[in-house]
Amino acid sequence: MKTCKRCKVALPELDLTEETRKQLSELILDNQKLQGVKFLMGTGVTHENAKIIMDHMITQKGVCGRCDYNFEGVGPFDCPDCGAFNYNIL
């Protein structure tokens, strides 16, 4: 299991179908973090892990969720500027 270098929390695996990823992306882009947690719980993710996932989710494409560092690429990444782990599904 991966650990966020910034906050030291253990990060759960995020294995989403394309449809699930699309639905969660819409909630993120609509700034619906609580609904995102509930949505993930509906897919079988525990409440604790759903909160961790949403806390580490980017909310703008190409921007770290913690320090606004600009990056290119797809998939999860550790920010080279602040060290925060980012789930990148947008």
| 23: pLDDT strictly greater than 90 | yes
pLDDT at 72 over 90: no
- Which tens digit of pLDDT belongs to each residue from 26-58? 999 999 999 999 999 999 999 999 999 999 999
- Report the distance separating Cα 28 and Cα 55, nearest Å: 11
Q: Are 36 and 26 in contact (CB under 8 A)?
A: no
